[in-house]
Structure 1
Amino acid sequence: MSNNANDNIIIKKSETSKIDSVDFENLSFGNVFTDHMLICDYKQGIWEKPVIQPYEPFLIDPSAKVFHYGQAIFEGMKAYKDGNDDVWLFRPDQNYERFNKSAKRLAMPEVPEAVFMEGMKKLIELDKQWVKNEVGSSLYIRPFMIATGPGVVAAPAQFYRFMIILSPAKAYYSGEVKVIVAEHYSRAANGGIGAAKAAGNYSAQFYPTKLANEMGYQQIIWTDDATHTRLEEAGTMNVFFRINDTLYTAPTSERILDGVTRKSLIAIAERENIKVDVRPILVEELIAAAENGTLQEIFGSGTAAVVNPIVGFSYKEKYYELPKQENSLALQLKAMLNNIQYKLAEDTFGWTVKI
């Protein structure tokens, strides 16, 4: 193992690469990782120098507070390669800003921009060959932070570890998606951590989603915790409803994640003169639109799938099939966003950042 260091980051390159053993045509999302990872530890109130090293397991104390009190946050991002073999990030400033908002909400230290941004760029530079030059292929980027401080006292830890790992990804497609509108379970509550990308938010969804799966549905459209009358998110994604030719989506709040893909789709729609109405949407509005034929599309938006069309939904044991769309607005918006990400269209917003 060879060591190189610059002023900010220690780099320990792997002597071998596992890239030749990877079947890039048959990737399962989030299960294959590149040769290197970034680690940066927080001790005694100070961030140490980041280290990029070979991807490998590491030891952690059994009493680490991440295990006992759930201090764990993460982000999801992607890098894309254009026709000139240049690699681009998409709106990384938004992910960095949201990461530190999550950190503050969970009483964790904020990560310095130099560690997050420069560390990520150098890590991607080192594993650049893992980013394939074709539309649909990308490099999924997972920055995360956990509490490594020992002890089972119910208080914030004194030691933390920030890491970035990378995973090559193909186009994310899960087939037809049918959803249930939640009547009992909630994703988040006012005053809680719904707006943070905290690990606990996602584990709390597993059980109600399992129940939905057993009934033949892939995901849940979450409703508000107090009355279950307002539509909020779809699974782990923000959600849009097209009624006639207007796109409706709920405003962000303490309960709803400020999705980067969500805000990007809104900006593109407004540029294309597509009417967007950001306001609370009632379940009764959705049912009425489905029954009178004005409900055209429902789709989720997020980093992994970008846009995930929903073919139908169930509410109070009644199923509503959505009409087939020859000119799906969801897929049009997805194509326009992908074209910006892969540098196939002009980035009029200044969202892309070259590695």
Structure 2
Amino acid sequence: MRYTVNTDAGECPSCGAAFQGKYCRNCGEKVFHPSDLGLKKFTSQTVDIFTHFDSKFLRSLKYLMLKPGFLVKAYITGNRVKYAKPMQVFVLANVLFYFVTHILGITDYSPNFGDHYYFGLSGYWIFQWTEGFDNYIASAIDQLGAWKQHQLHLSDKQFYYTFFENSWIYSKTFIILLIPLFSVATWVAYIRRFKYFGEAVIFVVYFLSFQLITFCVITLILNGFNVNIYQPFNWLFFKTPVYHVTNIFFNNSFEFQNLLLWFPYLYFAIQRVYKGHPLLTVIITFLLSKVLFFLTFGVYKKLLIVLTILLMHHV
């Protein structure tokens, strides 16, 4: 049985409103013609979708990497048509992150069981008094792991292997949890500049996209091409007398390596969007960078360990 194609261009088939021109003013539906079902038209539309999408993404990628804050400013001021949406950029960055880490088998964002002993709040000299709390959290995670190991009837070796195989999978999905964590911290840091909390979310989504893409690029350089681009910085700031100054601002070289990229990007992004006092912005942004580092490796990774234990199954 063949269906009947309604070729009446006077009435919108979606909402019933009268057409005025090529599009329905009520719902945006386009006037339909039988020729739209032809192979030529279908091919043309398919090519247009991909080329239009690619141009949007490539344009967005250029501004994301080379002009910190440009996409944020464009989005919150309503200049959106020419660029990919924030979550589209994030999803594509996450896809790139997935493939690079899958191919190289390396990621700082997938924890081993035991990583919950590192990057505690007491690691910062101003919060050394929280050591008891850090120990309590670590002990609680150990107990949760022991319960899961007993439930699955696994040896120690089997448990560690199974845990990592599961966390390797979950880390690609749960990385989205960094968005609310970062958004709250960023909103608090720049509370006088953000009019709406949603602005902080948009800011963070683009920053996380930058973070994932730069991680992929650096991981490829470090492990794919075996070039240690951090070596000169590590030598200068941690192997010379400069270390005494470096140690005041950074806990370790790993934190330094991450903030080496995060801090300048955040600074230029916030300045491009809101144009605050340069010195005050430097101070706030540096502190925010350290908070985001702690949220990533001191909070998110522990949260991921807990979620992995609760969701893990024998591989």
Structure number with larger C-alpha Rg: 2
The alignment's TM-score, normalised by the length of structure 2, stands at 0.22
Higher relative contact order (CA 8 A, sep 6+): 2
Structure ranking higher in helix proportion: 2
Q: TM-score, normalised by structure 1?
A: 0.20
